[in-house]
């Protein structure tokens, strides 16, 4: 199959036919099957951003968890470059995890509250690399500086940082292993508009400097349209429309896309003001 992935030189991530089904209890004895993701296909070019948007329950976060192999899809392929990681077991996945990292929605729940800032960033290096303590500490402080945090704060407990600063820590942690792709699962939605703009600009700068590819999960199509190269719209577990950002925003075809754009209209002017202030 690797030979069939002809666009591997240009494509960082390609998903084909992804399907994920959950079993849940219905009543006292009965269990029902719920298809959260059904036949999802997309790809992300190297150094590009794909925004996967949809309303709550559309399946976009399930896609994120499957892409990063926090969960195993029931069917489909996940091509990381020229490697299909969809069916690999935990041991086989270990060597691929540094290439694909994730930033979660709420940093306060994804960061160990007992850790210092330095320890938060060092954690993936401790787990997935053989680097010594001096290297890990030096790397952590370098990354703090890169994401806009003072290296002198390295020993400060993570819970003493603001929400925006904690998200910067989470981004630094994701970068510690030098990934090619970063999955951002609603990574901006828990922040106020001003902080969203600052973190979005940081992500753009990091992408330019490092050649990163982003899978950006969001419910806010107006916001992601600011810096996504392409948009895929999800509804009821399926991608119902996708294409270049300008085409999707200017001429939406599917009712789900139109509904997302209409719901974003009310906040568009305030968003413009905030983003303009931090451009």
CATH number at residue 211: 3.40.50.300
The arithmetic mean of pLDDT across residues 33-41, rounded, is: 95
Q: What is the mean pLDDT of residues 125-131?
A: 87
Residue 263: which pLDDT band, with cuts at 50, 70 and 90? confident
Write down the pLDDT at residue 188: 86
Which stretch, 18-32, 59-73, 101-115, has highest mean pLDDT? 59-73
Which residues, 6 or more positions from 182, have their beta carbon under 8 angstroms from its beta carbon? Answer: 101, 102, 103, 171, 174, 175, 212, 213, 214, 215
Q: Global pTM?
A: 0.88
60, HSE (Cβ side, Cα atoms, 13 Å): 27
On the question of pLDDT at 7 being above 50, the answer is no
- Grade residue 215 by pLDDT with cuts at 50, 70 and 90: very high
- pLDDT recorded at residue 115: 95
Is pLDDT above 70 for 9? no
Q: What percent of the chain is predicted at pLDDT more than 70?
A: 91
Mean pLDDT of 137-158: 96
Residue 211 backbone phi and psi in degrees, to 5: 70, 30
Mean of pLDDT over the chain = 89
pLDDT of residue 4: 43
pLDDT at 31 over 70: yes
How far CA 214 is from CA of 35, 43, 161, 227, 232, in Å, comes to 25, 11, 25, 11, 13
pLDDT at 266: 52
How many structural domains compose the chain? 1
User: Is the per-residue pLDDT at 155 higher than 70?
Assistant: yes
Model pLDDT for residues 171-190, shown as the tens digit of each residue: 999 999 999 999 999 988 87
What is the distance between the alpha carbons of residues 119 and 71, in angstroms, rounded to a whole number?
26
pLDDT of residue 129: 85
- Which is nearest to 207 in space by CA: 188, 182, 170? 182
Mean pLDDT value across residues 99-114: 90
Instruction: Assess whether pLDDT exceeds 70 at residue 12.
Output: yes
Q: Which domain holds residue 52?
A: 2-277
What are the b/e assignments for 227-256, b being 16+ CB within 10 Å? bbbbbbbbbebbbbbbbebeebbeebeeeb
Average pLDDT of the segment spanning 37-60:
96
Q: What span, in angstroms and rounded, lies between the C-alpha atoms of 169 and 21?
A: 33
83-98: average pLDDT: 94
| pLDDT surpassing 70 at residue 232 | yes
Average the pLDDT over 64-87 and give the result: 95
Q: How confident is the model at residue 8 (pLDDT cuts 50, 70, 90)?
A: very low
């Amino acid at each position: 199959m690797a030979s069939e992935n002809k666009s591997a030189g240009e494509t960082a991530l390609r998903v084909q036919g992804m399907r994920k089904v959950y079993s849940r209890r219905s009543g006292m004895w009965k269990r029902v099957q719920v298809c959260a993701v059904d036949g999802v296909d997309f790809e992300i070019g190297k150094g590009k951003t794909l925004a996967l948007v949809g309303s709550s329950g559309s399946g976009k976060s399930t896609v994120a968890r499957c892409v990063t192999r926090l969960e195993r899809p029931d069917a489909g392929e996940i091509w990381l470059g020229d490697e299909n990681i969809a069916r690999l077991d935990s041991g086989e996945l270990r060597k691929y995890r540094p290439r694909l990292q994730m930033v979660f929605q709420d940093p306060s729940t994804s960061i160990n509250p007992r850790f210092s800032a330095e320890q938060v960033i060092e954690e993936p290096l401790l787990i997935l690399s053989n680097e010594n303590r001096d290297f890990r500490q030096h790397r952590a402080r370098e990354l703090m500086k890169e994401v806009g945090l003072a290296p002198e704060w390295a020993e400060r407990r993570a819970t003493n940082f603001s929400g925006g600063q904690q998200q910067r820590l989470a981004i630094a942690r994701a970068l510690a292993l030098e990934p090619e792709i970063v999955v951002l699962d609603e990574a901006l939605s828990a922040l106020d508009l001003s902080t969203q703009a600052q973190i979005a600009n940081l992500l753009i700068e990091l992408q330019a400097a490092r050649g990163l590819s982003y899978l950006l999960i969001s419910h806010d199509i107006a916001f992601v349209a600011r810096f996504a190269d392409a948009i895929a719209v999800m509804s009821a577990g399926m991608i119902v429309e996708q294409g270049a950002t300008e085409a999707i925003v200017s001429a939406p075809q599917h009712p789900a896309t139109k509904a997302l754009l209409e719901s974003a209209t009310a906040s568009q002017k305030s968003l413009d003001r905030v983003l303009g202030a931090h451009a």
